[in-house]
A and B are shown apart, each in its own frame.
Chain A
Amino acid sequence: MNMPITSLLYVKPRLWGRLAARYAASWWAMLHLGAVALVMALSPSTYHRANRLATSRYIYASTWQVLPWFTVLTALVSLVIIRIVLVTAQSYGLSRYALEMVVRVLVLELLPLSAAMFAALRAGMAFDANAMGLARSGVPAGAATAETLRRLRHDLVPQVIANAFSVLSLAMVSSTIVLVLAYLNVYGLSPWGLPDYTRTVGRVFDPTVTLGFVFKTVLFGLAVAVIPSAAILDLLRRPRRLRTNVQPGALRLLFVLLLIEASSLAVKYI
């Protein structure tokens, strides 16, 4: 019975209902865990000494260690994209739209998504070889519950905070760098393009877009923080034989990230 949903086609039709219910329950558990984590993150009593230290540690691991490399990498890739967009726009005589396009495509869409992916790979999915081992070897029910509680109390909230912060900071820093790079590419080192540039940025970041940007980034952070943890806890509660070495929840995380991105695009442009 402990089969992943992908094997739905290989089970007997009379078991489909049970599989679907189990699948829905795991989604519900994930949402519930996310809500609990959010509530705990917002309650001041969570921030005692031990949790602060744990949060600092997670922030250090997910942001401090990653930020320089991520920034350099995104700057390089963005530089290439900015050049391509500018040169193409100039060749069609549409250079006045190039800057707006760069800001919309890179800052609003690509960078938050890349930051979320990067944080997920770096912090969200690489966090628990132990849990994988536990899940594979199988743990007694009592131990699993204890582990769940311990994770909730000690690790989950700091992780959620750290991962959300990681996504937010990676996105913000790289966005700032890209904004500067875009200005330098379009106007060079001259300061006289600043009013025009400011106006373009102001036109792009209308209140709806800005709120959408912030909301999307926060949702990315929550997804990166909650989904892998929820998957591990689900595994602990219902140990099963894993057929692949893929981190539990990885596919679900990717799916949720794309869903958030698609919803954001749909809200903004449709």
Chain B
Amino acid sequence: MNDKDLTRTADGPPDEPRHVEAKALILLVVIGALIAAFFLYVMYARGVFEKTQELVLVADDSEGVIPGMDMSFAGFPIGRVRQVELGKDGKVNILVDIPKADAKWLRTTSVFTLERSIVGETRLRAYSGILTDPPLPDHAQRPVLRGDAAAEIPRLVATAHTLLENLETMTRPDSHIGNTLANVDALSGRLTGRYGVLGTALGGDAEAEKLLQTLRRLDTLLAKTDQRVFGKNGVMDDTQGAIRELNGLLSDARGTLQKADAVLAEAQAVGKNARVATEDLGRLRGEVDASLRKVNRLVDEVNRKWPFKRDTEIKLP
């Protein structure tokens, strides 16, 4: 029995299916093709057949960056991180492969950010503001800006704490804002009161009443003044009469002045004649002086020649 069993095992089961070799061959070929196709698909999916250009992003911290992660532009993945290495300067170099077809979205002015969210993976994004700038060259090196939501939390909490404290201080019953609001309330109450803004500005209704009385008096005074000044037989009428008289006086004065002018012209002529006469008088005086000296000399002569009479009286001609 044992031998029979062994023989059976060696030769295979007696009810062997037909075309077993062909079926096995088909399976081998199909599965082989499937495996080959799968590997080709995975290689295609990993971008092995794509022409790429390299971009080196320089960061301070590589936390969350893993090879294989995507770099997205406007939500579309346009590149893949190939390698993350520590540079000689201690900075992290993130090597990104960008397919040539997608490289057009990156320009020399593009900005790259690395964002760590609280939930989910780290994201590498590119922003190109001006798409007309020159395209990003191959092997370009760019800094990457970090936006770390988790790192911001402590600062955010501290700020929120301060903010809440301030808010609490502000909303306390004895706070400045509370007092101000109370004043504003009183102010608005006054504004809507009998004397409105006037009462508010003067500090009370009594003061406003006084001001109003003063204004009324002033009004009456102004009416009276108007009547006295501009009314019939008022100051203005008198003034107009006076002005008219003044006008007449002025015209009279003008005539008088003209006459005086003529008198002055005549006086000038008289003055001129008098000057001429004065000049003649000077000459006459000179002549008189000369005649007197002659007479004097003559008397002296006579006196010397006629010593009898010492009569010094001289008789002018």
Q: Please list the residues of chain A having a beta carbon within 8 angstroms of any beta carbon in chain B.
A: 52-57, 59-60, 63-64, 67, 94, 97, 130, 133-134, 139, 143, 147, 150, 154-155, 165, 168-169, 172-173, 175-176, 196, 198-199, 201-203, 205-206, 210
Instruction: Kindly list chain A residues whose C-beta atoms are within 8 Å of the C-beta of B27.
Output: 59, 63-64, 67, 165, 169
Q: Which residues of B contact A173 (CB under 8 A)?
A: 31, 34
Interchain CA distance A199-B39 in the complex, whole Å: 14
User: Please, which residues of chain B bring their CB within 8 A of the CB of A203?
Assistant: 68-70, 80
What bracket does the count of chain B residues touching chain A fall in?
A: 35 or more
B212 within 8 Å of A by Cβ? no
Least Cβ–Cβ distance between A138 and chain B, in angstroms: 11
- Evaluate contact between A57 and B46: CB separation under 8 angstroms: no
Is the CB–CB distance between B34 and A206 below 8 Å? no
CB distance from A121 to the nearest CB of B (A): 19
B9: chain A residues at CB < 8 Å are 130, 155
B residues within 8 Å of A by Cβ? 2, 5-6, 8-10, 12-13, 16-17, 20-21, 23-25, 27-28, 31, 34-35, 38-39, 41-42, 44-47, 67-70, 77, 80, 119-120
| Closest CB in chain B relative to A226 CB, distance in Å | 18
Residue among B6, B17, B21 making CB contact with A53, cutoff 8 Å: B21
Q: How many A-B residue pairs have CB under 8 A?
A: 90
With a 10 A CB-CB cut-off, give which of A57, A147, A168, A176 has the most chain B CB atoms: A57
List 18 other contacts, CB 8 Å, given A205-B42, A205-B46. A52-B21, A130-B9, A134-B5, A155-B10, A165-B27, A169-B27, A169-B31, A169-B34, A172-B34, A172-B35, A172-B38, A173-B34, A175-B38, A198-B41, A199-B45, A201-B45, A203-B69, A205-B45
A sample of 6 cross-chain residue pairs with beta-carbon separation below 8 angstroms, ordered by A number, consists of A64-B23, A147-B6, A169-B34, A175-B38, A199-B45, A205-B42
Contact at A60–B45, with CB atoms within 8 Å? no
A52 to B45 Cα, complex, angstroms? 37
Interface residues of chain A: helix, strand, loop or mixed (majority):
helix
Task: Tell me if A97 and B120 are in contact (CB < 8 A).
Answer: yes
Q: B46: which A residues are within 8 A, CB to CB? A: 202, 205-206
Interface pairs A-B: 3 shortest CB-CB: A202-B45, A56-B24, A59-B24
Look across to chain A and name the residue whose beta carbon is closest to the beta carbon of B8: A130
Q: Which of B5, B10, B39 contacts A154 (CB 8 A)?
A: B10
Asked whether B68 lies within 8 Å of A206 as measured between CB atoms, the reply is: yes
Report the separation of the CA atoms of residues A175 and B8 in the bound assembly, to the nearest whole angstrom.
36
On whether A60 and B20 interact (CB within 8 A), knowing A198-B45, A203-B69, A205-B46, the answer reads yes
A165 in complex: contacting residue of B2, B8, B28, B80, CB < 8 Å = B28
CA distance A205 to B42 in the complex (A): 7
Q: Assess the B47–A94 pair: CB atoms within 8 A.
A: no
Nearest-CB residue, chain B, relative to A176:
B34
Q: How far is the CA of A53 from the CA of B23 in the complex (A)?
A: 11
